[in-house]
Structure 1
Amino acid sequence: MTAALSVTVALSLHEADLADGARVVGNIYSSDGSGATHRNVVFPCGTSAEPARYEVTPGPYVVSATLPSGVVLSKDAEATEGADTPVTLRTAPSPYESHSWQYLMGNIEPYGAYHDGEKIPMPRSRGSRSGVWDKGGLIPPGHAVWVGDPKATSWHFTSMLALAEMPGRQPVALGIARSAPHSVASLELGDSAARLYRFGPQGPVDQHGKPTLGGPTGPRQFLVVSLAGTEHLVTLPAPWDSAQIEVLVNERQSPTGSAVSVTVRDSRVGPALAYMARGAFDAAAALVRDTEELLFGTMENTLAAVAGAYILVGSELTERPQRWDPWLDQLRERFDWLSDGSVLWAMRHLRRAHTEKEHLAARDALIEACDRGVPLFTLGLSRLVHGLSEFPDDPVCARRLDQARRLSWHVDNREPFVIVALRGRQQ
């Protein structure tokens, strides 16, 4: 006896760059205990995505999906012998189609919070619309400052701590930029109090994905935004191959509590990062395990490879050698501007260390990571703090641990990429 369930999650993602939809993780359980079970399987999400087909034995089933936002969808289904039964899981709608990716990731409220009833979420304050400063004065409301070519020292701990702890007279963007920073207007989409910015490999793009600015780019890129009187230094994970990076600046109350959220419009790794940020490593791993070769083969998309490595290292609890272990060596050796490679190597080797020599090798990688600069991924910063704490009597580690801890107090740990809240600038 054979039957099949073909599953999709219906949520319009609206944009051409997501024509194939996103991928989310779910389960198929037999209601009466006699049928097949599929755990941590991948379902497509999007109105034009092809359904995922899973063979089962005939009988009653419960199909469920946990979205990156944490929302759980479920539906009963009856698998019939010799038939392919469609199962569509439906979400509550996004408040605006343009914000559907942010809604899927859990960064914005559902449709009803904006359009049903009178209690519409209010912006945090009038001051949240005050903009940020650049060389020419006050930037208009709804704008931010893109620093595509920062100084190499701008992502070092000393520099970021100075910005976070000591109010300065110079505008943040000017202080960290090597080439001139640029004012960027938010996209004219949806709600002005939940404004979107998008970036391609070479910088800001419009709502159709066309570049709006030129200029040199460095190995790291930043965005400086202002919200409720506080400036935020936002790490942009760019370039990310051809995928767009999306930043939501939410003047209303976000479901996660994060005022600024950064996501990658990558059908698999984007949702995987959202699962990872919420601690759901098994779900995140389900999305990247079958794309290991794609992520690590040539490492042309360096940041996607790093994201995959964080998920694989975080979800692997044994000491057994893995086929991706040599890729960690490459991430550490080939990309010395990216401290995450050293952090990942240290994480993996601390877990497997049994001798003093092995512990010291992990220690050296942690020190190397600190000296290369602040990790791009928030998980990297927290793992750096955790790893350095393993060497409390080592003065070299203790100094770096102090820096990493102090910076972590200014970083939003709910977000996958490092976002530093800065103190106000002196007038």
Structure 2
Amino acid sequence: MSAGATLAVRLFLSSAGEANDAVIVGDIRPAGLDGTEQHDILIPCGSSPEPTSYAVTPGRYLVTATLPSGLVLTENVTAVAGRRTAVDFVMTDSPYETHSWQYLMGNIEPGRVYHGPAPIPLAESVASRSMVAAAAGPDGVVPDTAVDLAALATWIGDAEPASCSFASVLALRQQASGQGVVQALARGEPQVLPAPDVRGGALAPLYRFGSHGPLHAPGGPVGERQFLVVEAAGSLRLVTLPLPWGAAEVEVLINLRQSPTGSAVAVTVRDPVAGAGLAYMSQGALDSAARLFAGLRADAEETPGAAPAHPLATAAACYVLLGTDRSPGETYWDAWLEALAEGSPRLSDGAILRAVRTLRRASAPPRLREARDRLIEAFERGVPLYTLGLAWLVDGLSAFPDDPECRRRLDEVRRLSWLADMREPFLILDLRQGST
């Protein structure tokens, strides 16, 4: 019998002297009829990641890495008996070194698009939700110097609870300016953020936030709901910030020129595991997302019934787990739903998840009534943090077409969903579309 072989898999990102650690999902498939097939392998990413080794039988293999954007990278390799064969994917062509995480997540184009000789094609349709802030010159190039980042983004660190209701958020469309939106939402002192370092690209400014608010800017009172109001070229966005997220930073990319997804604003969490999991979730790749969130299962089994240490991450995991649920009975994460709903009253996602779980398992009128009441309770807690929560609330309330209370609330939820960028994991609302 021949000795086994090993494939050591990793993905390189460009580095600007900062950590870029992440984990994505891939597959190992034999090139012929014989060989070892492994699905949903975990691939470490970073500026100098330590590879993860997978045992295979000797032979030729096709190794794939599925990026959160949906792009699939491939490498053909030969696994040699008794040897450890390196499988190195390379994604070092981010347009800016500081944007390598955004590039991995699929929110920005490769460097050749931004810095090559050909002009960047500008998004022209309303569906692209473009926030282009400058016109191209005669040569078709938009100069960085033409972009005005002054007062582009205003941080609301502590939103007034009443302002987060569906009716209040829908009413924000009537505000004449971004400042009006800020005043309608803020309970604490809002803060106009300074322009990010221009080395990161004036056409794709990147704002970063920590547990105490924006980095590289004075902090302020931090509440349970935080927002960013973005205004450029006549467009106005209300951006939900998933803060605090433990020790992880949150990035907000404002792509003033072109986005491969069509989203002008993208929010990502620089959590080594959950970061890519959230991106998979927003693309509908729930099985891939579930692979990354699987680590939370071990935590739940070690401390059954314990309250989630990180409610926002737990809510994301529950969306994925409930979306891929195939179990007929109780699961280890059912306790999470109850803990989220009861322990985080301003996180309406917990109430949405519990209501949807109740509805899906309802087989008798009493359980249907309970699901109906829980859906109404979820609505009353205000707009969710996750875009998927908005979609699930629409589905849940639609299950009661003859109930006037559900119909009234469904109308508001639907109207808000028309403003939402459904391609993003966190709720981003298009309050006003510019003329560009």
State if a TM-score over 0.5 links the two structures: yes
| Residue 168 of structure 1, CA deviation | 7.0
Deviation per CA, 1:206-250: give whole Å up to 9, x if none: 3xxxxx212211100011111331211111000011111100111
Deviation per CA, 1:331-356: give whole Å up to 9, x if none: 11111111100111122222222111
Closer/same/farther in 2, CA of residues 276 and 394 from structure 1, 3 Å limit: same
User: Unaligned stretches of 5+ in structure 1?
Assistant: 130-138, 207-211
**Correspondent of 1:392 among 394, 401, 410:** 401
The residue type equivalent to 1:349 in the other structure is: T
What does 1:403-414 correspond to in 2, within 5 Å?
403-414=412-423
Deviation per CA, 1:315-369: give whole Å up to 9, x if none: 2244332211111111111111111001111222222221112222221111111
Could you tell me whether the CA contact under 8 Å between 1:127 and 1:229 is conserved in 2? no
Which secondary structure does the structure 2 equivalent of 1:192 belong to?
Answer: coil
**Correspondent of 2:289 among 272, 279, 284:** 284
Could you tell me whether the CA contact under 8 Å between 1:319 and 1:351 is conserved in 2? no
* Distance in 2 of aligned mates of 1:110 and 1:182: 32
| Residue 141 of structure 1, CA deviation | 2.3
Greater displacement, 169-178 / 229-238: 169-178
Equivalent residue, structure 2, for 1:233: 238
Closer/same/farther in 2, CA of residues 15 and 22 from structure 1, 3 Å limit: farther
Greater displacement, 141-150 / 248-257: 141-150
What does 1:108-257 correspond to in 2, within 5 Å?
108-121=108-121, 124-126=132-134, 141=150, 143-165=152-174, 167=176, 171-188=180-197, 189-206=199-216, 212-257=217-262
* Distance in 1 of aligned mates of 2:195 and 2:299: 33
**Correspondent of 2:18 among 9, 16, 19:** 16
Equivalent residue, structure 2, for 1:262: 267
The residue type equivalent to 1:5 in the other structure is: L
Equivalent residue, structure 1, for 2:370: 361
Which secondary structure does the structure 2 equivalent of 1:16 belong to?
Answer: coil
User: Unaligned stretches of 5+ in structure 2?
Assistant: 123-130, 137-141, 143-147
Deviation per CA, 1:138-183: give whole Å up to 9, x if none: x962641111011111211111010035647962112211121111
Equivalent residue, structure 1, for 2:323: 314
Could you tell me whether the CA contact under 8 Å between 1:164 and 1:410 is conserved in 2? no
| Residue 198 of structure 1, CA deviation | 0.6
Could you tell me whether the CA contact under 8 Å between 1:167 and 1:423 is conserved in 2? no
Equivalent residue, structure 2, for 1:3: 5
* Distance in 2 of aligned mates of 1:166 and 1:174: 10
The residue type equivalent to 2:132 in the other structure is: R
* Distance in 2 of aligned mates of 1:116 and 1:124: 19
RMSD between aligned residues: 2.2
| 2:96 pairs with 1:99 | no
| Residue 17 of structure 1, CA deviation | 4.2
The residue type equivalent to 1:24 in the other structure is: I
Which secondary structure does the structure 1 equivalent of 2:248 belong to?
Answer: coil
Could you tell me whether the CA contact under 8 Å between 1:69 and 1:103 is conserved in 2? no
Which secondary structure does the structure 2 equivalent of 1:40 belong to?
Answer: strand
Closer/same/farther in 2, CA of residues 106 and 142 from structure 1, 3 Å limit: farther
* Distance in 2 of aligned mates of 1:350 and 1:169: 39
Could you tell me whether the CA contact under 8 Å between 2:178 and 2:229 is conserved in 1? no
Count of residue correspondences: 409
What does 1:23-62 correspond to in 2, within 5 Å?
23-62=23-62
TM (norm. structure 1) is 0.91
